[in-house]
Amino acid sequence: MKLRNIAIIAHVDHGKTTLVDELLKQSGSYRENQRVAERVMDSNDLEKERGITILAKATSVVWKDVRINIVDTPGHADFGGEVERILNMVDGAIVLVDAAEGPMPQTKFVVGKALKVGLRPIVAINKVDRQDARSQEVINEVFDLFAALDATDDQLDFPILYGSGRNGWMAHSAEGPQDQGMAPLFDLVLEHVPEPTVEEGAFKMIGTLLESNPFLGRMLTGRISSGSVKPNQTVKVLAQDGTLVEQGRVSKILAFRGIERQPIEEGVAGDIVAIAGLQKGTVAETFCDLSVDTPLKAQPIDPPTVTMTFIVNDSPLAGTEGDKVTSRVIRDRLLREAEGNVALKIEESSEKDSFYVSGRGELQLAVLIETMRREGFEIAVSRPRVVFTKDADTGEALEPIEEVLIDVDEEFSGVVVQKMSERRAEMVEMRPSGGNRVRLVFYAPTRGLIGYQSELLTDTRGTAIMNRLFHEYAPYKGEIAGRNNGVLIANEAGEAVAYALWNLEDRGPMMIEPGWKVYQGMLVGIHTRDNDLEVNVLKGKKLSNVRTTSKDEAVRLTPPIRMTLERALAWIQDDELVEVTPKSIRLRKRLLDPNDRKREERRKEAEGV
């Protein structure tokens, strides 16, 4: 059967996964009466909850006797490592662009990578049924983007389709016709995307996606570059430098057939398959016949920009809610994650029982922490820090700078510009984006953006949309002011009492509720001033036999501030940690004993830090 391999790439929320749903439906991959979940490719619980794609996944459809392998990719820049690897597997890409928002930072990132690999993309303008759609202007913006990314003449001559993924139609004009469904898109893929290029020689395949299957063990998905592979065939795995990683037998070969994977008797060159049976081979390594000596070239992956420390939980409540608490279990889990996700880097710290985990952004690391807590892990994590590099010529420290694009109502643009300039950002563009909204573009240090998302939503009453993308490394921009408020710290262990919390409300908003377990050194509230304050949240009302005229009124408490994982990570300071367990997210001081904290302060003063 003839083959086509394509990836669907776009900015977050531009409708990639919904489009794949329609392609599967209209190609006959489902039975007439089959019940299918919405956004079927987002199979992970976290993906369903957040409405975003985190892991790239493959599927396939048959159209006019041609099998089209489709890869759905994430839209967030934090998961860009997935997209960079995927582009090695495909021969064409559908660039999906929202008819109202136009090309966004992530569109620029993935299109740049696709053009560099030499793909000739198809541009699909999605959501043309939106009231604020501006299809023609968006086409011009896409053309300008391709030109700015040094596209060749062939790549600039891209075919264009208009449509609505949710309503299940694509056409050569924004007006329709709408009765042909996705047929125009399928036909354009067959006509525009070349057949997979097949090299001569024995079996070779580069690993692109790694997953674990409860029955088959480790499974690696990739595109076969040359030759063919059969079950029970002995193959070897070569690292990028040509060294032998392992030799083993392929136990099963699975091909994508709709949303299911089916065992096949032979994987042929050009097809995307998953192979099981090898214990050590991982992503970016070459799986090949025993006669092959030279590995295939893998696409280089951009370096991580943010790092966090994962520490074994040593609080007094450790081990009460999770069952995976030891450093060995945490280390194994982190190394397993780094195997399949090449954008993550794990290093053991010089301090005992802690690890440095580096990634593309706070969201990528927060998703890893959330996944681990759902698996029963207990860990303490530090505030994210940026990864500095050194200039090869001058030895000067360079920090990551991001391109930040903020869409905001005109009335709030002043406060956004002011806050961004306080965070050492430099404004490069300001233009109207329709409907009394302004699009602001900044170059800002990653350091300054940590924790800004929630502040931005507060300043703009939830109307701003922020998108960010790594831009370059640049010289250090100088100090950035941190949090203005101090914290309220529990001075004893026990259960919080409503009367004590009520008396402390003048000191600042609380982060805990009555009945919650607390311990010495745990953060229980935000101080209204800039210093930290130790408080007693266990103190009950003194009872006496003297009657009073005030009566014992019921204590009415202000609802506490709810700290989500992302908000907690961005809010804490360097001397604080977030304790994450399957049931709770608690904030605490790194040093729980107040005497240890004073000693540390004196040491820092003496050293002039």
Q: Does 527 carry a binding-site annotation?
A: no
| pLDDT value for 48 | 61
Q: Is the pLDDT of residue 74 over 70?
A: yes
Q: Are strands 2-10 and 92-98 parallel, antiparallel or unpaired?
A: parallel
| pLDDT value for 372 | 92
In the chain, the percentage of residues whose pLDDT exceeds 90 is 17
| pLDDT value for 377 | 93
Confidence at 241, pLDDT banded by 50, 70, 90: confident
- Residue 204 near residue 286, CB atoms below 8 Å: yes
Q: Is the pLDDT of residue 30 over 60?
A: no
Contacts of 335 (CB under 8 A, 6+ apart): 346
pLDDT in tens, 329-348: 999 999 888 877 777 888 88
| pLDDT value for 549 | 54
Return d(Cα 54, Cα 76) in angstroms, integer: 8
Q: Does 128 carry a binding-site annotation?
A: yes
| pLDDT value for 10 | 82
What CATH number has the domain spanning 204-288?
2.40.30.10
Output the CA torsion 545→546→549→553 (10° steps).
-40
Q: What letter represents residue 350's amino acid?
A: S
Residue position matching structure tokens 């995976």:
324
Residue boundaries of the structural domains of the chain: 2-192, 204-288, 390-475, 487-543+554-566+587-607
- Residue 127 near residue 99, CB atoms below 8 Å: yes
Averaged pLDDT, 432-452: 84
**Domain 2-192: which CATH number of 3.40.50.300, 1.25.40.20, 2.60.120.10, 3.30.70.2190:** 3.40.50.300
| pLDDT value for 216 | 83
Q: Is the pLDDT of residue 34 over 60?
A: no
DSSP 113-179: HHHHHT--PEEEEE-TTSTT--HHHHHHHHHHHHHHTT--HHHHS--EEEEETTTTEEESSTT---T
Residue position matching structure tokens 């999770």:
322
Q: Are strands 252-257 and 260-263 parallel, antiparallel or unpaired?
A: antiparallel
- Residue 174 near residue 135, CB atoms below 8 Å: yes
Q: Is the pLDDT of residue 27 over 80?
A: no
DSSP code of residue 518: E
Q: Does 17 carry a binding-site annotation?
A: yes
- Residue 60 near residue 23, CB atoms below 8 Å: no
Instruction: Determine the 3-state secondary structure of 334 from DSSP.
Output: helix
Q: Is the pLDDT of residue 39 over 80?
A: no
pLDDT in tens, 206-228: 888 887 777 888 888 888 988 99
Q: What letter represents residue 493's amino acid?
A: A
Q: Which of 274, 265, 366, 378 is nearest to 319 (CA)?
A: 378
Report the range of poorest mean pLDDT among 210-214, 406-410, 476-480.
210-214
pLDDT in tens, 497-514: 888 898 898 999 999 999
Which residues lie across from 252 on neighbouring strands? Answer: 276
| pLDDT value for 470 | 80
Q: Which of 375, 383, 381 is nearest to 313 (CA)?
A: 381
CA–CA–CA angle 263, 264, 265 (5° rounding)? 130
Q: Does 15 carry a binding-site annotation?
A: yes
Looking at the chain, the number of H-run helices and the number of E-run strands are 15, 35
| pLDDT value for 283 | 80
| pLDDT value for 546 | 66
**For domain 487-543+554-566+587-607, is the CATH number 3.40.710.10?**
no
Confidence at 379, pLDDT banded by 50, 70, 90: very high
pLDDT in tens, 246-299: 899 999 998 888 777 889 999 888 888 889 988 888 888 889 998 888 888 877
HEC string of 77-115? HHHHHHHHHHCCCCCEEEEEEECCCCCCHHHHHHHHHHH
The token pair that represents 329 in the structure block: 């279990």
Confidence at 42, pLDDT banded by 50, 70, 90: low
Q: What letter represents residue 288's amino acid?
A: C
Q: Does 232 carry a binding-site annotation?
A: no
Averaged pLDDT, 458-466: 84
Return d(Cα 213, Cα 193) in angstroms, integer: 32
Q: Which of 365, 371, 367 is nearest to 383 (CA)?
A: 365
Averaged pLDDT, 419-442: 86
Averaged pLDDT, 441-452: 86
Confidence at 536, pLDDT banded by 50, 70, 90: very high
Averaged pLDDT, 530-552: 76
* Greatest alpha-carbon span in the chain: 97
This prediction's pTM:
0.80
Q: Does 16 carry a binding-site annotation?
A: yes
- Residue 281 near residue 246, CB atoms below 8 Å: yes
Backbone angles phi, psi at 198, to 5 degrees: -115, 130
| pLDDT value for 80 | 66
Contacts of 554 (CB under 8 A, 6+ apart): none
Cis check for the bond before 177: say yes or no (omega within 30 of 0). Answer: yes
Return d(Cα 309, Cα 303) in angstroms, integer: 18
| pLDDT value for 488 | 93
More confident of the two residues 187 and 546: 187
Q: Does 13 carry a binding-site annotation?
A: yes
Q: Does 123 carry a binding-site annotation?
A: no
Confidence at 551, pLDDT banded by 50, 70, 90: low
C-alpha distances in Å from residue 515, one per residue of 116, 311, 498, 518: 58, 27, 8, 9
Return d(Cα 565, Cα 567) in angstroms, integer: 6
As a whole number, the mean pLDDT across the chain is 84
Return d(Cα 76, Cα 62) in angstroms, integer: 29
pLDDT in tens, 170-186: 888 888 788 888 888 88
Q: Which of 412, 386, 400, 387 is nearest to 466 (CA)?
A: 412
CB atoms within 10 A of CB 218: 19
Burial class (CB in 10 A: 0-12, 13-18, 19+), 581: buried
Task: Please name the CATH architecture into which domain 390-475 falls.
Answer: 2-Layer Sandwich (3.30)
More confident of the two residues 183 and 361: 183
Q: Is the pLDDT of residue 581 over 60?
A: yes
C-alpha distances in Å from residue 63, one per residue of 23, 36, 175: 10, 20, 25
Q: Is the pLDDT of residue 41 over 60?
A: no
- Residue 72 near residue 59, CB atoms below 8 Å: yes
Return d(Cα 17, Cα 38) in angstroms, integer: 9
Return d(Cα 568, Cα 587) in angstroms, integer: 7
